[in-house]
Every structure is written in structure tokens, then in C-alpha cells.
Chain A
Amino acid sequence: MKYNSIQGLFERITRTDIQKKVFAQIIDTKYTYRQFLEGVHKLNSLFQSRNLKKGDRVILSTSDDYYTALFFIAFLRYGIVTIFLDPEVPEKQAKALIKKADAQGYVMDDPLFESRNVIDSSNQFQLRVKKNLQKKGKLFNRLLKRKTEANAAEPNTFPAILASIGEKEITIPSIAFSDLAYVLFTSGTTSEPKGVMITYENLFAQLHTLSKVYELTNQSRLHNILPLYHVDGIIQGPLLALYNEGTWLRPMRFDQSKINDLFHSFYKYRASHFFCVPLILSFMDKYSENYEDSFLTEDFKYIISSASKLDEKLWIDIERKFKVTILNVYGMTETVAAALYCASGDHPRKVGTVGIPIDCEAKITNSEGAVVKENEAGILWIKGANVFNGYFKNPDATSKAIQDGWINTGDIASVDEDGFFKITGRIRNMVISGGVNIYPEQVSEMINSHPDVIESCCIGISDEHIGEKLVSAVVVSPNASLNKSDLLSFLRPLLKSNQIPKDIFFFNALPKGKSGKIQTNQIEKQIENLKNDTQKTFSTGHQESIKTAASEAFGIAIDMLSMDDTAQSIDGWDSMAHLMFITILEKRFNIRFATSEMMNMTSLRTSERILKKKLDDR
């Protein structure tokens, strides 16, 4: 193993001649290893002076990408357990997670302290992240050596507090393999959130494997724009770059309007590896015209696709179009990031599969627990040094998930005669929509909290572009007048935008079995029938067509939409939904929008104009 501990890693990166090398490039700001290590050192000094101890849990929740990476790695260095809490998480969920975490400290964006009811306490480590506002005349201020007002005003907030920390000697606690490194909450309801506990052993075993499979070196430049409160962002971004003394690139926060910038960024920033989810690849495939040379650089090595199923056609199309190799990896938060790899180089490869387990074991069993034969479907289990320790303060969930060191992935898979694994279905109740994991019970819980709702059930229905989309079947009280738009408005502050159901169907009663269990397959069938009926009544009027498509794609009731709505005014109009919106219209009218037209469709009015012209030209 290249580095077997956090101590070894830090000894190496403080000793070698890489201090001037860029560790991270975020948008246009570069941070050298020296700056980064100074930041880690100062934070460790701050932890010591504020009596944070090894094993303490600190909630990390900031929207600043660099600070997220800096704090996480500073915590790792000092043995503090990071509790990741996405700053985008709605209040109710955030409060539940905070309660469950029972943390000894908080590092959060300033406004989150109030909205999440974290009260000032001298017994806790509390650090408010409050960025200085970029003021005009910064250059002159610097020349005149003027202190910025923000710095002077709030010296106890971060990063201003760093200025008051000197070069003090600090004692770094000794960290064992079995120590907890971080907790990442993945699923569960607000009453019983599930936090995945990852140890240093899990983490370093994973870093070692990822580096080997991706063929990383100190020349590697990891282009990772995935969310940092997800393992594919934080582990396969800054931490993996640091582990290899490479560079972490984050030139943008991705949305559909930045697709051109994304294409430019691979050459511009000399990326060697690009980490993405199939949804981003789907976008790249759709907008590829004139950008086919994007990866044809002397630096570029691999695209790494993770988080959800990579459609075989998309895989082949991207590889052929961009003349690039995709590594498809399969994993879960419980395996740190990845476990099975359809890799390249020295490793065997079969397009359309999730490859083979590397540095871990995988088996497929039937319902009796016996290992199945080749090409026979069963439950996928994984065992290895990268498999997590258990769910945080949740022994029941842990014992259900782990048996004799094997974790039940909840996925149905088969293995072929050459040993390649293929994911064919899922038993755990989760919807993977455009690379984002959505736990339906979490959404149902929020729907059920509406006073007019009797019960509900959320399911994932297959979608050719985003894999699956979440829809809800809802039963409302007989005398209630609840409609889609009211319910969506109710849900918006309670759920993250990607958790909002893409459609809501009202049922008189949910189909149930004899035991009273809701029959999701029946719901799926009934929804399909309802959808077909809706399609038959699809209006031919352009405005109505646009609104119907928008309603379906953005998860908003038609009567809530105005033709003046834009990508900014509609919450659900994200990259994934944009793709759906376009595709629905293309299918409906049997047309194909040009790249420039698709790029221009950023408001309903413009979309209508482009559609009308397209139809007129036909």
C-alpha cells in the first residue's frame, strides 16, 4: 500500500517538493499545497486551542467547496469525525440529522445556525463560515494595505479567524485504523436517519484501490464537479487528489447552461481524469456537436462514471464519439465509494457490465443464502477492507445490512462466465435518478405530513434518460381539495429539489396485499395507465404543449406555470429536467432540436418560439 495512514500521507506531502504545486483549482482560484497545508495546520491549531479531541464529531455544512475539502481533511488529520450535512438539506431533515448526530461541534455557513436552531454554546466548538464580500477596489486596498472591513468586524468567523492563529506547535493525536473517519447520512426517515460510519482503514484501503485502478500518479489532475456532500465528490475529488499528490480541478458547478464550459475545461485545465455520473454523460452526448475533440489532449486518460447505471448505448456512443475510455464503477456509500470496476489497462473489461471486484470480494446469493450459478440473478454481497463499520447509532439497520462481514448491497446482479458482474435490479427501496439516490420513504414521510393526505407511496419508474424518476401515488381525505400544485408547494421547503416527485397521481386507495403491505408493482401499472390516458389528451396548442411538457419534466402543476417562467424561476428546472423537457417535446412532435436551439430554450416563452419555428419549418 502506498500510504497506509493519514500520518504517512501528511509526512509525505509536507516533506516532498510539492509545496508550490497546485492542490486545488476551484473556478479560477488556485490553491497550492503550501496554502492548503497551512490551512490544515492552522485549523488543527484552532481545534487544539478549542479543546476538540480525537473522536469528537463535528457537523460540516458549508456551500464553499474549498472550505468543505479543507475542513474535512483537517478533521481527518486531527482524528475528528466529520459528520457531513449537505447545506442544501431542508430544515426539517437537517434538524433530525443534527439531533441524531449529537455532535461536539459545528462548522456551518452562518445563516444555517439560525435556520437549524443551533444555539450558541460555549461547551461546543462552533465556527460560522462567513465569507468576505468581494468589494470593488480590492487591488487598491491591497496596495494600500488596508484591512477589509469584514475581516476587522467579525474575527471569530471563518476564514477571518485564521488571521489570528499563529505558527504554534501542535500535537497531532495518534490515529488508529479502526478510528472513525467520517459519517455520511444516506437514507432513512427523519425519525431514523441512517449514517454510514467509515473508518480510516476503510478509507485508505479505498484510496489505494482507486489510485491503482484509475492509474493515478502525482501528475494526475482530477476533474470532479460532483456534489461534495456525496462520496463521489468528496472522496474521489480532493481526498483522492491529495492521496496521489495530484491536483483537484473543480472549474464550475455544473448545470445545463455550462455544458460548453464543461467541454472546454478538459483541455483548458489539463484534466487527466473526469469523474461524472451517467446524467452528465447523457448531456455531453446530446450537446456533443463540435465538441468531439474535447478529450483529445495529451493529458487525458479516463472518464470515470459512477453513482448510477451506465446505459450500454450511452457508454458506447460516448467512447466512440469522443475517442475516450470510460471506467464504469459500482459502489455505495457503505463501500466508501466503489467496489466493482469495469476498468481498463491491466484490468479485464466488458462494456455493459460493472466489471469485477478489485481488492474486495463479491458474491451473489439466492433468497436462501446460497451462491447462485453463472448468469443467474441474485442478491449482490460485498466484503472487503473498504466495507463500512455499521450505521451510526443504528444497530438494527447494521445487523440487517452486514452478515459475517458481507454487506447486502440491496441490488440484484448476475455474474457471467468470465466473472463480470451485471446489475439487473434492486431490492432495497431506493430510486436512482440521474445519479442521485432518492429514498422514497423519506419523500412519502413528508407527503404524509400534509394534513389532507391519508397515505402515499413513492416509487421509481424507469426513464430512458435519467434511469428512473420518482413519482408519488397519494390518497387524500374525501372532503379535501388538495391538488398537485398545493402539494408540491407544501413539499418544496421540506425536500431537496431532486427529491421532489416528478409527478403526483391521486388514488382513491393504494393497492395492498393481504398483509396490508402496499403493492408497488400494482401502483406502477396503474400509473402507467394514467400516463397513457394523459398522453392521449395531449393538446396540440403550442403553449399548452410546452406547459404540459414542463409540468411533467419539472414536476409542477400546469396551472402553476406561466409562459414567462424561466430556468431561474422554476425550482425543478435543473440539468436533468431540462433534458427531459427537450426529449418530451421531441417525442411529442417527432422533431429534433439543434444544439443551439436546445441551449436557447431557457424559458417557456423562448421554448415556445423555437418549437413553433421548428414546426413551421418542417
Chain B
Amino acid sequence: MEALINILTISIPVVAVSWLLPERWQMLPVVVATALFLAWVSPLSLMVLAVTTLISYYTIKVYPSLTSAVLIVIIQITAIFLFFKLELGLKGALLKEAIIPLGLSYYSFRQIHYAIEAYKKQLPQHTILDFISYLFFLPTILIGPINRFQPFLKDLKRRRWDSTLFSLGLERILYGLAKITVIGNWILVFKFNNFIRSIRLDYPWLADYLNVVKYVSNAYIQFAGYSDVAIGLSMLLGFKITENFNYPFLATNIADFWRRWHISLSNWCRDYVFYPFLGMTRNGVISIIMSMLVLGAWHEISMRYLLWGAMHAVAISVWHKYEGKAIHRKLSQFPLVQKGLGIFITLHFVLFSFVLIMEENIWESIELYKRLLFI
């Protein structure tokens, strides 16, 4: 929350100055503010981002073989990502403490996307300044979404002062802040939590169940709130950044859930993990498993997140096996029942899966599973 407040505070003068400057200088305050913000809260992140930005851009631009250049960029980014996520610096005594550069997961995945799109020859003509503007974009530096370069560049080229978009942006920031503070921090974390505590002695199972509901709801509300603020801030600067959530708890199946939850990440995994693996193996299940493992590892490289990813991969594969089968077709004759049942099952699977990552370690998760399943 503190970082968010800092970003919002910095953004006020940045937005104002940006619109007051001549068009070709308008992104300069945004880039400078992002660099200063990183220098203040995470100088290591600034260094990593600056170095990788230059390496990624110039390797792809000047290296004679595009395939090798793209591989170099992907290996470079993945190595840095793994170095910090696996705390190799700490283990190798290179760093004194476990530290993850702020925004690393987001800008790493943005750069991998950039490299693969370059390989696919899907990048429009652009300059280093366009690329820097993309990676040093204050609204999305902290918590995403993992927006794509092409739409960003499109907005960069066509943006102009648009009062409608600006007021939508302000509205969106307010919604986001309301989600985080009122629904998340006050209702869920404070009020709902107190209620759970008050019933814990009399209704321990219900308290555990509601605790999971609270955790998942709060995770969604907080993340969606932050995304709203990022999208709103982008709008203030004339950019329409991709949506990250679309009522995920109304998903009627688990595949549908991943089209609604953290959309920018799940789309990233679809395009850059699932499709390549599908192309190589022609095996849907293996491709889903690989995608979901990467998706889990993006959050944290740990057993619980890998298990969480694997659990979702299995669920998606089961759903695809079930889809179109006789029972599914029969149930389709009762769309309301099918939809209601679909939402109920999907939601409870999601709640159940989140138990893996809500507890400190896997053993505590197992304990909670036991209680929830009366084992």
C-alpha cells in the first residue's frame, strides 16, 4: 500500500508535467519518475531493469542472427529471474540478504514477450526510446499488468489529451482504492476477520472455510484494486492498458477461470509456453502442465506454488477431457443448472487450491485440508 501511495503521489506532478510538455517530450517525465522511484525504493531493480533493457534492445537490433539474439535475451532474462527467485545470490554469498528487485517478475516477462515477438517478426518499427517508455512505465512497474509492447506502442503513437479517458482514469483509480481500502482492508481483513474469529470456537469448520473464502476474496480484491489503479493511472497518461480481471468468481469452469483471473499472465503463459510446447509436442496435457508450472513459478519458485500450478493443470486437463462428453452434453440441456453447478464447482476448486499457497508451508496446508475435509 505504501508503494502504491508513493506511486500515486509521484504520478500527480508527472501526469501534469507530461501533458504540459510538447508531444515528443511527454514520456520523458514518466520514464524519469519511474527511474527515480526505483532508485528510491529498489536501486537494485533500477540497475537490473536498465541493464536488461539496453541488452535486450540492442542484442535484438544489432546481433546478426535473430534466433541467437532472441535466445540470448531470453537466457539473460531467465537467468536473472532465477538468480533472484531462487536466492542464488544469497546461497553463493553474492548478496547479503534475500532480495527480489521490485517489479522483476513483470519486467522480465515483458522482455521475454518482446524477444519472442521480435522472433515472430511481429514488432512494429520502434526506437529505443519507445522500448524504454514501455519498460519504464510508472503505472505498471509495481504490479502489472504484463501489458504487451504492440498495444503500448500503438497508444504511444496515437495518444492525445482525451478528457473522457482522463475522467475514466480518475474513476478507475477511485474504484481501485475503494476496493483495496474499503472492501479489502476494512470489510474483509478487519470486519470479516473479526466475524470469523467470533465463530471459531463454536463453528471451527465454518471458520476455516470462511477463512479460505476471506483469503481468496482479499487476494482478488487487493490485486484487482491495484490493477484498477494501474489501469487508471495509465489512462491519465493517455494509455489503455489491458484488463487483468473479469469477474473470475463467475467462471463456469477452470479454463474459463484462467481467462478471467490475472489475464495478462495467463495469456502470456498461453502464448509463450503453451503454444510453443504444443507446437513441439502436439500434446495438450504436457503443454498445459508446462504452462501452469511456469505460471506458478512466476509467483514464487517453491514447492507449494509448483503444486498449486500442477493442481490447476490437472483440473484444466480434466475439464477438457470432460468437455463434450455425454454427461456434459446431457447437462447442457439444463443451462441454468449447468452454469450454477459450474460456478459452484469452479469456485470451490479455486478456494481449495488456494489453501496450498495461503499457509506458510505445505504441512500447514495439509493440516487445513484435513480439517476442511473432516479427515
Q: What residues make up the interface of A, taking CB atoms closer than 8 Å to B?
A: 28, 260-261, 263-265, 267-270, 290-291, 298, 594, 596-597, 599-600
Shortest CB distance A216–B (Å): 22
* A268 CB contacts on chain B under 8 angstroms: 157-160
User: Interface size of B by Cβ–Cβ distance < 8 Å?
Assistant: 14
- For A264, the closest partner residue in chain B by CB is B158
**Contacts of A260 on B, CB cut-off 8 Å?**
124-125, 157
Beyond A290-B150, A298-B164, is A596–B157 a contact (Cβ under 8 Å)? no
For residues 137 through 155 of chain B, which have their beta carbon under 8 Å from a beta carbon of chain A?
150-151, 154
The answer, yes or no, to whether B123 is at the interface (CB within 8 Å) is yes
A267 touches B122 (CB 8 A): no
| Residue numbers in B under 8 Å from A261 (CB-CB) | 157
B159 nearest CB neighbor, chain A only: A268
**In the complex the two chains form, what is the Cα distance from A179 to B315 in whole Å?**
81
**Contact, CB under 8 Å: A270 / B123:** no
B96 within 8 A of A: no
A295 smallest CB distance to B (angstroms): 12
A596 B122 Cβ-Cβ under 8 A: yes
Q: How far, in whole Å, are A599 and B157 apart by their CA atoms in the complex?
A: 17
A-B contact pairs, 10 of them (CB 8 A): A260-B125, A260-B157, A265-B158, A270-B160, A290-B151, A594-B121, A596-B121, A596-B122, A596-B123, A597-B121
Q: Which residues of A contact B122 (CB under 8 A)?
A: 594, 596
**Nearest 5 A/B pairs, CB to CB:** A264-B158, A268-B158, A264-B157, A596-B121, A267-B158
Seen from chain B, the residues whose Cβ lies within 8 Å of a Cβ on chain A are 23, 121-125, 150-151, 154, 157-160, 164
B52 to chain A, nearest CB (A): 24
- The answer on a CB contact under 8 Å between A264 and B121 is no
Query: In the complex, which residue of chain A has the Cβ closest to the Cβ of B240?
Result: A293
> Complex: how many Å from CA A264 to CA B126?
14
Once the chains bind, are B164 and A290 in contact (CB under 8 Å)? Answer: no
Question: Inside 8 A of A269's CB, which chain B residues have their CB?
Answer: 160
Q: A99 vs B154: C-alpha distance in the bound complex, in angstroms? A: 50
B154 touches A264 (CB 8 A): yes
How far in angstroms is the closest Cβ of chain A from B25?
13
Which of B23, B125, B154, B158 interacts with A290 by CB under 8 Å?
A: B154
State how many angstroms separate the Cβ of B14 from the closest Cβ of chain A.
21
Which B residue sits closest to A594, measured CB to CB?
B121
* B contact residues around A290 at 8 Å (CB): 150-151, 154
**Central interface residue in B121, B124, B150, B159, by most chain A CB within 10 Å:** B121
| A290 to B160 Cα, complex, angstroms | 19
Shortest Cβ distance from residue B127 to the other chain A in the assembled complex, whole angstroms: 14
* Minimal beta-carbon separation of A598 from chain B (angstroms): 11
Nearest residue (CB) in B for A595 is B122
CA distance A600 to B120 in the complex (A): 13
Not counting A265-B158, A597-B121, A599-B125, a sample of 13 additional A-B residue pairs whose C-beta atoms are within 8 angstroms of each other reads A28-B23, A260-B124, A260-B157, A261-B157, A264-B154, A264-B157, A267-B158, A267-B160, A268-B158, A270-B160, A594-B121, A596-B122, A596-B123
A291 CA to B158 CA in the complex, in Å? 11
Complex Cα–Cα for A290 and B122 (A) = 11
Bound Cα distance A28, B158 (Å):
13
- Which chain A residue shows the least CB distance to B122? A596
Roughly how many angstroms separate A269 CA and B150 CA in the complex, as a whole number?
20
CB-based nearest B residue for A268: B158
Which residues of A are found within 8 Å of B157, using beta-carbon distances?
260-261, 264, 268
Determine the distance from Cα of A269 to Cα of B162 in the docked complex, in whole angstroms. Answer: 11
Question: How far apart are A566's CB and chain B's nearest CB, in angstroms?
Answer: 16
How far apart sit A265 and B122, CA to CA, in the bound complex (Å)?
Answer: 21
**Which residues in B have their C-beta under 8 angstroms from that of A596?**
121-124
Residues in A with CB closer than 8 Å to B158 are: 263-265, 267-268
CA distance A290 to B154 in the complex (A): 9
B10 nearest CB across to chain A (Å) = 27
- Closest beta carbon of chain A to B67's beta carbon, Å: 11
Tell me the bound Cα distance from A263 to B121 in angstroms: 20
Chain A residue at smallest Cβ distance from B23: A28
The complex places the Cα of A505 from the Cα of B114 at a distance, in Å, of 49
